[in-house]
Structure 1
C-alpha cells in the first residue's frame, strides 16, 4: 500500500481545504447514501476525489467515474527528452513506459466502459511525440561506426478504446450543442477552454460547439449494452494554482497568468463559499448522468409512435432544415464581413498586408500583375496594354520626396528596357489617425513638382478604398477608374468623401467628409451616391 500511495498525485492546499469543509458539512448526507467513487488520473478536480498517476498500477475498477488529463499525464514521461523535427523525442526508458502504460490503460478503459462506468477525458491539443522503437540503423565501420535510433510517432490518446480523431485548435468561444450540458455550461462558461476539435464521428453525441459553427469540442459516446459513457470535454480551468507549480507557462496563450492579486482570482482565504465550485458542478453533472436509469429500448419500439411523437418529429425536421439554412446564411454573412474588414487595410495598414490589399484593389479595377523579385517594385503589371509600376507605402505621416524617388527608380528600370510605363505612388498617409482626423496634407508641395515632371500619379489609401467601394457598387465604373489612375499626373483629386464610403457614425452628420471641396459631377469628381447600398463583392 505504501508503494501505491507513492504513485498518487498530490492535491494542492486549496483542494484539501475544500475536501475537509465538505467532509464536515456532508456527514449526514453521506450517511444516507454512499458517495460515488471518483478517481482522477493526473488531474485535480477539487471535489474530494482520489488522485493517481496515469502510469501508476492502481486499478480503475474500484471507481464509478474516472477523470483523465492526457496532457498532464504526458508530462510525466518527458523528464529526459530530446527533440526531433520540432517534436519531443522520448528516451528509451520513457518510450517503453509510455507505450506499455497506454496499452495497459487502453484495455482497462475498454473494460471499465463495458462495465457501465463513466470515463471523462479532458481533450488536449497536439500531443504527438517520438518514441523509441528499439531498432537501430548502423553506418560506417570500425571507429567510424555510428548508430541511429529509429523512432516512431506516438500519441497518448491511443489509450482511448474507440477510433476517434481530433484536430488541434484552441479557443474560448463555446456554446452548448443541445440541452445535455447547457445547464452546467451556463454556470461555468468562463471556466472552459477548448484545445481540440472532435472530428465527425457517428457515435459521438455533440455536447459543445465552437460558437457560430457545428464543430464539436465536447461530446459523449454511450457504450452499447452496458450503458457506459465516454465523455470528451474541453479543459476546465479551476480558479486555484497548484502549490507545487514550477511556474511554467505552457498553457494556452489566451489565458493570462499572474499572481492571485493581479488576476483577480480568489485565493483560499478569499474564496466565496456560496459561489459554486466548477469542479463540484462538473462532478454533479457527471453523477446525474451516471445515476440515470438505463432507458435504452429495443429497436422494435421505434416502429410504434405516439401522435405527439409524429407531430414533434415533423417539427424537428422542419426546424433542423431552418437551422441549417440559417447557419449557411450566417457563414455567408461572416465571409462577406471578413472581406469588408480586409479592405480597411487600405486606410489602416502598412507593409506586406497593405501591398496585398493594394494589389487586390487594382486587380478589382482590371489591372493584371506579374511576379516581381524581392526588393524590387511592389507591383508591376499592365492595363489593356499600358504598363504600370506601383510603389506602396503605409506611413504615420505624410508622403515624402524619397517615396517618389523610389518609385522613379522602378520607372527608370522599365524605361531602360525601352518600355513606356506609368508610375503610381499609393501612400496610406497618417495611418495611425482615424480617417476623419487626417486634416493635414497627404502630399506636401515640395514633392509635387518632382512627381508632376515625371508623370507620377499620387493616390492615398483612402482614395483607393473609395474607388474599390465604387467598383463593388457599380462594376461598370471600373474602366473609368482605371483611366483616371493612368491619366492623372500628380495627386488624384477628390475621392475622399467619407459619406460615400461609410455610414455616418453615431452623433456625426451624414455630410461629414475629409475634403473641404465639394466633389464635382465629372470623371475625377464623381462620387458614389451615399444613399445607394454598399454591396459586397459579387464574387
Structure 2
C-alpha cells in the first residue's frame, strides 16, 4: 500500500517522511494526502514597518505578496478538502495588519498635492477557507465537546498537553470539537466536506520548535532525539486520525461513470454551463493578473540598484540612467567592451559597475575605467575624452542604514586625480525614484549635471517636497 504523502506549511517536523513547503510557495496540495498547515505571516513585515492605528501597515509590495499567498493557500486548502484530503490547520495567534487596497485619492494641486492611501484590515486567518470570526483569547484549559467522535478523542488525549488556544471561534455545535474548559467556547473543530471524504480539522496551536528540539553541532542547529521521537509519534497519529475520519464519512466518492452526461439532471446542465462561463472569466482574470504581475516585475527591476552585482546591476544602471534622460547602452566593439556608454545634451560619459557583498568598492576598477576612456578616445568617431564614472554598490547584502562608506579612501583619492565621478547605486536609485514620482524635468537635468560635474562621490539634488501620503482605513469587507 502506498505511503501517505504528508506536507507541512508554516511548521516543521523532524521526519524524513514529511515534505516541508514554504508559506511563500505556490505549491499545489493535490499532490499530498494529508496537510499540516499553520498560517504564520510575521515575516511579511519587519523592523521599520510603518504602523496605523496600532497595527503594522504594509507597503504596496508587502500587501500584494501577503494577499497573493494567503489567497493561494485558502484556495489550495479548499480544493484539497474537496478532493478528499484531510487538512489539519493549527491556529496560531491572530496577526492583524493593514494592507494597501491600491486605491488613492488626491486633493490639492502641484507641490501642495496630498495623496491619501486607502488600506483595509487583513489577518493570517484570511488564508483559512472558513469564516471563523476569530476573537483573541489565550489559554490552555480545554476539553473535547460532548459530541466529539472517538478518533479525535484518541489523538487529543495523546497530545493535549502540547496545545494552547489563542482565539475563540464562531462555529456551530455540529462542527465544534474542542471547547474551553469553562464556558464551552469553541477553539477547534472539524469541517467535513459535503461532496467528498475530505475534512478540514481546526486545532489549537502547537509549538513545533521548542528549545529542546534543537542542539548545536559544528555551529549548526540539528534536531534532537526528542524532536525525532515527537515527529514519529505525531505523524503516526495524524495518519491514523486521517484513516478513521475517512472511515466515518457517509460520502462515497462518485465514480466516473456516474457523472457522465447520460445521468445529468436538467438543473445540472444549466449550472455546468454557468460554471464553464465562470471558469473562462477566471482564466481571463488570471491572464490579466499575470500581465500586471509581469509589468510590476519590470517596473521593479530598478531595485537591483540596491542589492545586485554583475550584469543585473549593469542593466539596472542603464535603465536608471535612461529614466533620468540619458541615452545609455552597453558597448562592445572588437576588443573593447564597456559596461555603459551614456550621454545627454550636457555631455558624454563612460561607466564601469562594481558590486561588493560585504566591503567598500576599492581602486581596482579605476584602472579599468581609465583604460576604457583611452580606448574610446582612439575611435575615429570620438573627438574628446568621455567623463569616467564608477558605479559602486558596496555592502550590497546589508540594508542601507547598516552600510558603511561605499568607496575606500584610496578609491576616493584616485577619483580626484582622474576626474572620476563616484556614484553609489542606491543614491542613483533614490534619485530615479524621486524623478519617477514627481516627473520634474528640471530635477532630472540637475541629476544629470551632478554626475557630469562631480569629481568624487556624487550627491544628487534634493527633489521638490510634497505633502506626505496619508493613510485611511476602508471597510474590511473590501479585502
TM-score, L = length of structure 2: 0.46
**Structure having greater relative contact order (Cα 8 Å, sep ≥ 6):** 2
Higher strand share: 2
Structure number with larger C-alpha Rg = 1
